[in-house]
Amino acid sequence: MSDYSTIVVEKKDRVLVIALNRPDRLNAISREMIGEINAVMADAKDDTGIAFVVLRGLGRAFSSGMDLKDDAVSGVSGSESWRKILSEDLEFIMQFWNYPKPTIAVAHVFCLAAACELAMACDITIAEKGTYFGEPELKFGSVITAMIMPYLTGPKIAKELLLSADDRVTAERALSIGLVNHLVPKGKGLSAALRLAHRISTMDDEAIRLTKKAINSCYDEQGLQNALAINLETSIEIETIETPSRKQFKEITAKQGLKAALAWRDQRAKGVNLGEEQEGRSLAENFELFAQQRSRYWSHYYEDDPDES
């Protein structure tokens, strides 16, 4: 297979395995990664030697979601710019749902935000024990690009998880509410996925394709595609609402990183203004101080192993 910068691709019999490979960033999904995965998926679509696609992550986690710093640094603004970016994101995620060949996501440790949407978009999701799921986008002032969850869990659970930005949904709960098909021991996710993929890939390719299409059409009849289009417009509206707090959050993310922006957001909720010098400290020192004081809760996603907590 070709060499890529952000993914590792290998073929195991008739199964194509795509591994997210930005372990230093917990496999945050960058624009470059999206482009590389899109290219691989396009090449494999008509390859009769490939019957199944497995998506996994290398390193300490499946993925922490979209790389928010990408868009912050690029300075995306205005409804048309956001329409282009979010449309690309939605198409990227939903290609796993619409793909003519079956897809499996193998999640371990963290499967968050857009990565959680990717896992939901795959036909089958296998989670290793100790994995956390969730869509914490609202915590970041960001948006939920692919509104799939209500169709998998029902509205009550979807509203609870999305509106509370819950990012500590255990693998056990994910299994019980329909986000996950199978729960396996740590380190056994890929082998479980390959066993299932090999079993399915022995069947007639055209029958598999048409059956998957028929299953998806049931959701189309329930309005899934229309709901995704409506949510896209809502997401564009949210991203273009330029309140002072949203603007400052994005600026801090672009200049100092997401952790500093989260520290600013939390302290702002407590009535602390990080935009002013305090007790003789400079603005940079303020951000550094509050980032250090931030609970270890968030450091789990960016630095520490959850088992160390």
Q: What is the residue extent of each domain of the chain?
A: 7-238, 242-308
The two most distant CA atoms of the chain are separated, in Å, by 72
| In the predicted structure, residue 20 carries a pLDDT above the cut 60 | yes
Give the C-alpha separation, 40 to 99, whole Å. Answer: 12
Question: How does residue 74 score in pLDDT terms, banded at 50, 70 and 90?
Answer: low
SS3 of residue 292 by DSSP = helix
**How are beta strands 7-12 and 15-20 bridged, if at all?**
antiparallel
Q: What pLDDT, in 10s, does the model give residues 133-156?
A: 999 988 877 899 999 999 999 999
> Which are the contacts of 40, defined by CB distance < 8 A and separation ≥ 6?
4, 7, 9, 16, 18
pTM attached to this predicted model: 0.84
Q: Write down the pLDDT at residue 290.
A: 39
- CATH class of the domain comprising 7-238: alpha beta
How does pLDDT run across 187-235, given as a tens digit for each residue?
999 999 999 999 999 999 999 999 999 999 999 999 999 999 999 999 9
Q: Which residues contact 104 (CB under 8 A, 6 or more apart)?
A: 52, 53, 54, 55, 122, 123, 124, 125, 126, 193, 196, 197
Element (DSSP H or E) covering residue 298? helix 296-302
> Are 286 and 280 a contacting pair, CB within 8 Å?
no
